[in-house]
Amino acid sequence: MLGIFTPLEIGLISYEDVLSQLNDPVLSVLYRDPWIIPFIESYDELKKRIKEFSLVAKGLIGEVFKEEERQLTDLYYKILLTLGEGVWRSKEIAGIVQREEPTITSMINKLAKMGLVSKILTLGKENYYKLSSPPLSLILYAESKYMVSERDALIEELPIGREVQFSIGEMLAKYFGGQLYYSPKEDIDVVIVKKKKPIWAFGIKMGEITKSEALNSIKRMSKVSERVGFVSLKEKPNDYGDLNLGPKELMQIAKELSS
C-alpha cells in the first residue's frame, strides 16, 4: 500500500483540468491528487473507507519524508494532524503542540517545501497554512478528530466544503487573472486579488444558497470587494450577486481554462 503515495511527488492536478474531464465538481476536488484515483469512485467511498486510508496515512507520509532524507517525527505528524483538523494559524498550532511559534513556522515551511503543506494568502497579517492534498487533508481530519485508525466509526461527513472552497477559488483566480486570498476577519470563502486590490469576493456552498444567506454574505463581502459572487454545487443560485455560478457554469469555466 505504501507505493500508492508516491505519485504525490508529481504534484496536484489543477481543478479545471480534472473538472473539464470528469464533470463531477466534488470528486474532481479529490482527484486533483493522482494517488487516490485508482482507489475511489466517489466522495462517499472515501468516507466509507476512511479507516483503511487512515491506517496507512502515517506510513505513506513517511515515504515522502524518506524521499527528502528526513524523518517523520511525532511532532511533524502532530502538525499535519492539526492542519488536517482545520487549524490553519501557526500561532494556534504552536499552542496545541506546545512549542514556540518560530519553531513551528520553520517546520511548516519545511513541510511546504516537501509539497505536503501550502501557505494560504490572507488579507490579514497572520500566517495561515493548509494541507496541499484534498484527500490527505480529509483523511487526517478524520484521524485527528475521531481516531478512526483505532476504532470502527461511521463518519457521515467530512469537511469537504473547505476543500471545494480552495479548489474552486484557485480556478476562479486563474479565470480572472488574479490571486486567491482568504479573508479570515470577514470569513469570506474566496477573495480574488489583482494588483494588490480585491476585485472579486465569492461565497461558496455545497448546497442551495438561500436569499437570507446571500444577503448576509453580501454585507460581509461588500466590505472587501465591490463585486461579489456566489457558487453553489447544487444548482445555479438566483441573481443575488454580480456573478452566480452553478455546476454547469463551473464546467464551462473549467473547459475554457483547459482548452
Of 256, 249, 259, nearest to 25 by C-alpha is 249
Which of 89-93, 151-155, 230-234 shows the highest mean pLDDT?
230-234
- Buried b / exposed e over 69-94, threshold 16 CB at 10 Å, is eeebeeebbbbbbbbbbebbbbeebb
The Cα 172–Cα 151 span in angstroms is: 39
**Lowest-pLDDT range, 31-45, 56-70, 99-113, 123-137?**
56-70
d(CA 143, CA 85): 9
Q: Taking 70 as the threshold, does the pLDDT of residue 2 lie above it? A: no
DSSP summary character for residue 239: S
| pLDDT interval class at 10 (50, 70, 90) | low
Q: How large is the average pLDDT for residues 154-171?
A: 95
* More confident: 3 or 149: 149
Grid coordinates representing 173 are 483566480
Higher-confidence residue of 70 and 192: namely 192
Residue 3 has pLDDT above 60, yes or no: no
Mean per-residue pLDDT, 187-216: 96
- Cβ–Cβ < 8 Å for 7, 248: no
* Residue 37 CB-half CA count within 13 A: 13
